[in-house]
């Protein structure tokens, strides 16, 4: 049975408990920490076993009792006063026996899942006098893992900066970060897993449009706003926010929980769940920070939805989508146990938040019922395929081509011997090979500061810094690592693939193998065939571009990345502007003379990417509205072509894209595309609820069509508005309004899906015979040069991905 959530006076009267072990919180008269007992100290004296009895109340929430954890700290952090034998009963059930202390145990965490409204704990101590236990009963979320594999260490706790107090001490052995005592001076212990006590706070939406802490129960602030939900109920805009840790990450659950002027609770939740995902790029080992107002989504709460959020579902914290999927499942399961099964769960999120939605719709049926990806990509791992080309190409354009007297690609040139930067004019021709957008007017994040001249590319403005972050084991932007010993930090290989070593495994050197491969890739092939570059230019870039070194061959980054490397002091010299290398070319296979070798990816790693579900192959059995603002002209990394890459994957797997809408707006159009998508998705999912025997497509609202919104307010809405992108039809209205750019691998002969890790290879002679080079004449000398550049052959993209398991 579904349950309406109504806040109780008991919960509202919670007080903040200042804990010796757990730290304190900002005081509030109507909210606080879910600590039910303690901390209390039980000490062993001489003679008969010492016995202690404690009584505590549980919180009657949602027709059930909050599960809690009994924390037991044995003696102190210096291993003094530790009990050798103890027995603990809760409500007559033995939960701790003497065997728990054999062999030596410092910290115990015992789940208590069957508490009553009133509970009794009895403790019996035996053994040496002067020993003692400290006990506390508090709610914390489930720890995990369920299926994501061993927990990652080191792991930086962020509970204090998330207003959840100090993390819970879980060992005395020095594992994790040190935790100071809250009341007395000294070290309380260490936290490996960064758990925190669950807490609740209340906020209200002010008439000024901000969420403010609610100071007093029952009384309505003078500037309290009201909201009308999509159930057409108008209520005071008061929000209950629950926060804590689940699966080591910090979660938040927010929902309308209003009361009238007399303090009587009012029902406002629409029985629907809104899961908020978020983006960014990071390499794990971090809990992530959750600002207290972050789960307070006005778009969702004002309509009556409950909102769920976790730092484990922010790709700016980590990019392990198996771990992220597990976390989302655990957070939703917690929500269901506490508040009841929602009618449906819709989700929203941009960039990496969009990736999670597509991947989870594929990997975890039933987790999400409808998705709204914003500024989407299909997935992260295939995104690295063309992004990994960026800095190799930029180095060619900045340094190699000008050194050869070729100024076709303009921009800024750097003299590698003197470091002098020269402005050469338009970089727009870089689009011919990179595929993505370029501009004469957008500033370059590095060169413009030196020359004052504008001009850059999406490869730079969108992706600068991603190469060291994803590929270099000696580079990380994770802060807080000074809390760990140097050997612990240096034991980590800081790459994307090593972050997911539970999935990719490790080689004999201890490094996770990489999926990135560019063997046989003919950079600029389309530009050559279309006559936009010469054969000489084509041969030059393919001879010189090279690839990336193996992780064990890489060295610390140069300037400017040495400034942001959190372990620079451990792996390399102090940052020096003279050590200028914005391309990370020191970690490329570049050779100043001759042919630079390409990089061969690991087939087993590619298989693991597919088998773990990190590759989105196009399975979509639920509604999806893919929305984005058109940012290609300003060189933003979220280029619009990616929505259509995903659609093509869906078409190939599902044989149609009936469940998939694409909405794109000009940033100046002034439309609330998010709100429109939420309301459309709500209608679509409500239709499915009302007509379960009909298909997702049959339940689609009549206005659920592809759309675009132009700067002047014009809207085009029809099934064919994007014609001409994935078919040979005449361009639709939206296709004509918004130019779709490309990628380096599409320019090299790949298709729009961008899902080929490793191409099948064809001998150069056969490629010439089959017309790969169009009307370009390839003479004997040219063929010999091509064969020298591509000794294993060139990519034949028509055969698909050589890295995809044959049966997959």
806 has pLDDT over 60: yes
Residue in this structure with the two tokens 């993505």, named with its chain if needed:
436
Q: How far apart are CA 307 and CA 300, in angstroms?
A: 7
25 has pLDDT over 60: no
The string of pLDDT tens digits covering residues 74-124 is 999 988 899 999 999 999 999 999 999 987 889 999 999 888 889 999 999
Mean pLDDT for 397-410 is: 92
Bridge partners (DSSP) of residue 549 are none
742 has pLDDT over 90: yes
Tokens of 494: 């800081």
Q: How far apart are CA 545 and CA 567, in angstroms?
A: 29
Q: How far apart are CA 222 and CA 203, in angstroms?
A: 14
Q: How far apart are CA 410 and CA 714, in angstroms?
A: 36
The dihedral formed by the CA atoms of 682, 687, 689 and 691, expressed in degrees to the nearest 10: -170
Residue 188 banded pLDDT, cuts 50, 70, 90 = very high
The SS3 assignment for 231 reads: coil
Q: Residues 190, 169: contact at Cβ < 8 Å?
A: yes
What pLDDT does 65 receive?
A: 60
Cβ within 8 Å of residue 185, ≥6 positions away: none
Q: Residues 765, 610: contact at Cβ < 8 Å?
A: no
**Backbone φ, ψ for residue 99 (5° rounding):** -65, -25
Residue in this structure with the two tokens 């689009």, named with its chain if needed:
431
What pLDDT does 709 receive?
A: 98
The string of pLDDT tens digits covering residues 119-152 is 999 999 998 999 999 999 999 999 999 999 999 9
Q: Which of 4-8, 266-270, 628-632, 696-700 has the least mean pLDDT?
A: 4-8
Q: How far apart are CA 304 and CA 231, in angstroms?
A: 8
The string of pLDDT tens digits covering residues 480-528 is 999 999 999 999 999 999 999 999 999 999 999 999 999 999 999 999 9
Number of alpha helices (DSSP H) and beta strands (DSSP E) in the chain:
25, 33
Orientation of helix 780-789 relative to helix 535-544, angle to 10°: 20
The kind and range of the H/E element at 334 are: helix 321-339
Fold (topology level) of 35-138: Jelly Rolls (2.60.120)
Bridge partners (DSSP) of residue 629 are 665
What pLDDT does 102 receive?
A: 84
Residue 221 banded pLDDT, cuts 50, 70, 90 = very high
Q: Indicate the domain borders of the chain.
A: 1-7+148-316, 35-138, 385-587, 616-745
The dihedral formed by the CA atoms of 297, 303, 308 and 310, expressed in degrees to the nearest 10: -20
Q: How far apart are CA 428 and CA 110, in angstroms?
A: 62
Average pLDDT score, the chain: 92
What pLDDT does 294 receive?
A: 93
Across 55-91, b (16+ Cβ under 10 Å) vs e yields ebebbebbeebbbbbbbbbbbbbeeeebbbbbbbebe
Q: Residues 718, 706: contact at Cβ < 8 Å?
A: yes
Q: How far apart are CA 466 and CA 493, in angstroms?
A: 16
What pLDDT does 79 receive?
A: 82
Residue in this structure with the two tokens 């594999």, named with its chain if needed:
149
Nearest to 459 by CA among 630, 283, 632: 632
Mean pLDDT for 55-81 is: 79
The SS3 assignment for 744 reads: helix
Mean pLDDT for 24-50 is: 76
Q: Residues 201, 217: contact at Cβ < 8 Å?
A: no
The kind and range of the H/E element at 642 are: helix 641-654
In the chain, the percentage of residues whose pLDDT exceeds 90 is: 84
Tell how far CA 546 is from the center of its chain.
Answer: 30
């Amino acid at each position: 049975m579904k349950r309406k959530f109504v806040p109780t006076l008991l919960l509202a009267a919670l007080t903040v408990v200042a804990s010796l072990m757990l730290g304190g919180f900002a005081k509030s008269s109507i909210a606080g920490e879910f600590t039910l007992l303690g901390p209390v100290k039980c000490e062993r004296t001489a003679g008969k076993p010492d016995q202690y009895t404690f009584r505590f109340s549980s919180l009657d929430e949602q027709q059930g009792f909050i599960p809690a954890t009994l924390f037991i700290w044995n003696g102190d952090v210096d291993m003094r006063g530790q009990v050798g034998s103890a027995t603990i009963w809760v409500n007559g059930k033995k939960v701790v026996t003497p065997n728990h202390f054999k062999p030596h145990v410092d910290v115990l965490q015992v789940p208590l899942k069957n508490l009553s409204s009133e509970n009794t704990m009895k403790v019996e101590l035996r053994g040496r006098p002067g020993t003692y236990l400290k006990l506390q009963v508090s709610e914390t979320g489930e720890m995990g893992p369920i299926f994501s594999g061993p927990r990652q260490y080191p792991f930086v706790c962020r509970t204090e900066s998330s207003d959840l107090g100090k993390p819970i001490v879980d060992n005395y052995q020095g594992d994790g970060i040190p935790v100071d005592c809250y009341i007395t001076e000294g070290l309380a212990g260490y936290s490996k897993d960064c758990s925190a006590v669950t807490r609740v706070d209340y906020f209200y939406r002010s008439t000024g449009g901000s969420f403010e802490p609610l100071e007093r129960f029952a009384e309505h602030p003078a500037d309290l706003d009201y909201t009308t939900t999509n159930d057409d109920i108008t209520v005071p805009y008061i929000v209950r926010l629950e926060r804590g840790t689940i699966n080591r990450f910090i979660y938040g659950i927010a929902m309308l929980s209003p009361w009238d002027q007399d303090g009587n609770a009012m029902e406002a939740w629409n029985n629907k769940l809104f899961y908020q995902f978020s983006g960014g790029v990071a390499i794990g080992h971090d809990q992530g920070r959750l600002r207290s107002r972050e789960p307070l989504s006005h778009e969702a709460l004002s309509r009556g939805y409950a909102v769920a959020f976790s730092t484990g579902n922010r790709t700016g914290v980590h990019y392990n989508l198996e771990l992220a999927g597990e976390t989302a499942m655990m957070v939703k399961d917690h929500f269901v146990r506490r508040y009841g099964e929602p009618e449906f769960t819709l989700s929203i999120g941009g960039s990496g938040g969009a990736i999670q939605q597509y991947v989870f719709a594929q990997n975890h049926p039933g987790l999400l019922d409808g998705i709204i990806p914003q500024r989407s990509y299909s997935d992260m791992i295939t995104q690295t395929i063309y992004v990994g080309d960026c800095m190799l190409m930029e180095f060619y354009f900045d340094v190699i081509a000008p050194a050869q007297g070729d100024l076709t690609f303009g921009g800024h040139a750097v003299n590698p011997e003197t470091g002098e930067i020269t402005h050469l004019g338009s970089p727009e021709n870089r689009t011919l090979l990179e595929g993505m957008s370029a501009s004469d007017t957008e500033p370059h994040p590095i060169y413009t500061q030196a020359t004052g001249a504008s001009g850059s590319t999406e490869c730079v403005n969108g992706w600068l810094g991603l190469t060291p972050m994803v590929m270099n084991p000696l580079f990380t932007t994770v802060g807080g690592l000074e809390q760990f010993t140097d050997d612990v930090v240096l034991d980590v290989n800081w790459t994307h693939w090593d972050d997911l070593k539970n999935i990719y495994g490790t080689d004999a050197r201890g490094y996770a193998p990489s999926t990135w491969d560019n063997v046989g890739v003919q950079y600029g092939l389309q530009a050559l065939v279309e006559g936009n570059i010469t054969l000489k230019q084509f041969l030059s870039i393919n001879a010189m571009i090279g690839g990336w070194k193996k992780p064990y061959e890489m060295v610390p980054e140069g300037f400017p990345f040495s400034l942001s490397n959190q372990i620079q002091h451990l792996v390399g010299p102090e940052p020096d502007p003279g050590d200028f290398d914005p391309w990370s070319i020191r970690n490329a296979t570049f050779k100043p003379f001759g042919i630079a070798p390409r990089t061969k990816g690991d087939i087993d790693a590619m298989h693991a990417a597919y088998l773990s579900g990190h590759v989105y192959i196009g399975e979509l059995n639920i509604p999806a509205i893919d929305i984005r603002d058109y940012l290609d002209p300003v060189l933003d990394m979220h280029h619009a072509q990616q929505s259509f890459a995903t659609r093509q994957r869906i078409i190939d797997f599902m044989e149609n894209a009936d469940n998939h809408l694409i909405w794109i707006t000009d940033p100046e159009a002034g439309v609330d595309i998010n709100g429109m998508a939420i309301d459309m998705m709500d209608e679509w999912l409500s239709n499915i609820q009302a007509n379960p025997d009909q298909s997702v497509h049959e339940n689609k609202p009549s206005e659920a069509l592809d759309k675009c919104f132009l700067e002047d307010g014009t809207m085009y809405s029809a099934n064919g508005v994007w014609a001409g992108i994935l078919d040979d039809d005449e361009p639709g209205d939206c296709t004509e309004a918004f130019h779709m750019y490309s990628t380096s691998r599409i320019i090299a002969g790949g298709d729009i899906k961008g899902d080929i890790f490793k191409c099948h290879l064809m001998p150069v002679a056969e490629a010439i015979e089959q017309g790969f080079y169009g009307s370009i004449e390839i003479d004997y000398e040219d063929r010999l040069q091509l064969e020298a550049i591509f000794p294993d052959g060139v990519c034949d993209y028509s055969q698909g991905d050589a890295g995809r398991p044959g049966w997959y």
